[in-house]
Amino acid sequence: MKLAIQVNEGPYTHQAADTAYKFVEAALEKGHEIYRIFFYHDGVNNGTRLTTPPQDDRNIVARWSALAEKHNIDLVICVAAAQRRGIADADEAKRNSKDADNIAPGFRISGLGQLIEAGIQSDRLVVFGD
DSSP bridge pairs for 125: 4
Catalytic residue, chosen from 78, 79, 109, 118, is 78
CB atoms inside a 10 Å sphere around CB 33: 14
For residues 20 and 84, what is the distance between their CA atoms, to the nearest angstrom?
Answer: 23
> Does residue 128 have an active-site annotation?
no
Q: How many CB atoms lie within 10 A of CB 105?
A: 14
- What is the rounded distance in angstroms from the CA atom of residue 110 to the CA atom of residue 76? 6
Residues with a known catalytic role:
78
